[in-house]
Chain A
Amino acid sequence: AQKITQTQPGMFVQEKEAVTLDCTYDTSDPSYGLFWYKQPSSGEMIFLIYQGSYDQQNATEGRYSLNFQKARKSANLVISASQLGDSAMYFCANSPGRGSTLGRLYFGRGTQLTVWP
């Protein structure tokens, strides 16, 4: 079974600063994917970044980077130069690469990020 842990219910960061959102996962599958999603209060779930378990380099997408530490089973999201529009709920998720659970996304409980001016 997959398990995703986000230990920070809420985080606060000042505009233009960087912030790290924590995520750890527990899986016995050798092949899996890790994802981060952003959900503003309006409700849409926005895909931010993906890391495959076999990827050697950390994924980056603009101001988002994923700090992937496979041995520690952690996949922290780093947002650089925070903007007011980054205020939202952030979900870490894991998907198995094969087997009967193929197609399932396992979500953490989320971290509510607030960016202040």
Chain B
Amino acid sequence: DTEVTQTPKHLVMGMTNKKSLKCEQHMGHRAMYWYKQKAKKPPELMFVYSYEKLSINESVPSRFSPECPNSSLLNLHLHALQPEDSALYLCASSRGTGNQPQHFGDGTRLSIL
């Protein structure tokens, strides 16, 4: 069982909907990450939070809005997504942002109709 929990596991939404992806870890990690992964491709980094502050935004469109309410939680708010945003969204955490293994959740499979 993974120690990073993501909900929901699957999400289908229309292009006008607003939804949120949630990620939680209780390992005391201080860095958290969002990745997007298309089929048969490696994950692509979207955002990095370090000590609850956004440290990296990989030029992600504003229809994706991250939020880190506390050191254990990471949200990704979705609004007005496009069909090409359909993908597996992975959350990860690590002790710090140096040479630390990142531990991933099971992901949310997102489909945009």
Contact = CB atoms under 8 A, between A and B. Distances in A.
B109 interface: yes
Contacts of A98: 98
Interface stretch (A11-19, A67-75, A76-84, A100-108): A100-108
Contacts of B33: 103
Interface of B: 2, 31, 33, 40-43, 45, 48, 50, 55-56, 88, 90, 92, 97-107, 109
Contact of A45 (B45, B92, B100): B92
A98 B31 CA distance: 15
A83 B49 CA distance: 37
Nearest to A51: B99
Interface string A20-53: 0000000000011101010000111111001011
Of all A-B residue pairs in the complex, the 4 with the closest CB atoms, nearest first, are A33-B99, A107-B42, A103-B97, A45-B104
A103 B42 contact: no
Question: Interface on chain A toward B: helix, strand, loop, or mixed SS?
Answer: loop
Given A43-B88, A45-B43, A91-B42, A105 B56 contact: no
Contact of A32 (B55, B92, B99, B106): B99
Contacts of A53: 99
Contacts of A44: 2, 104-107
Contacts of B102: 35, 47, 105
B99 A108 contact: no
Contact of B90 (A32, A45, A109): A45
A116 to B, nearest CB: 21
A104 B45 contact: yes
Name the residue in B33, B43, B101, B107 with the highest tally of chain A Cβ atoms < 10 Å from its Cβ: B101
